[in-house]
Amino acid sequence: MNYTKEQILAYCNEFSKNTLMETLKIEYIDAGEDFLTAKMPVNPSVHQPMGLLHGGASVALAESVGSAASHFFINPKEQEVRGIEISANHLKSIREGVVFGTARIIHKGRSLHLWEIKITDEAGNLISLCKLTNIVLEKKKTE
């Protein structure tokens, strides 16, 4: 990565405007050579009917942070990233507070990126463990 932590976070938070990430109040808060972290509040807007964090909201956080992280390993003028597979194991429930999604690169190939995303609560308890595969595509030339 040839970006500072501040540049990465500013970029990620800016491109999240007017998207699902903004709706879910996902905010990118930390970055390093092999990881990106975002946080999401847990409140009724992301609950399932039993008053717990909805698994789909956890998966949205995981895919958001893992896909955003892949952008820093490509040439954005010539390439783009698409998530092609995600899996999640929901291990613990949470009703309120904040969850953190941290994506760490497992495999960085030319055309595939594999990420492990751990979603934890404020005490560091593992809420969900996700795996995301992103494909790197060449942008279509416009004439």
**Active centre residues (catalytic):** 63
105's enclosing H/E stretch is strand 97-108
CB atoms under 10 Å from CB of 101, counted, come to 27
Interior/surface letters 12-48, b for 16+ CB within 10 angstroms, e for the rest: bbeebeeeebeebebbbeebeeebbbbbbebeeebbe
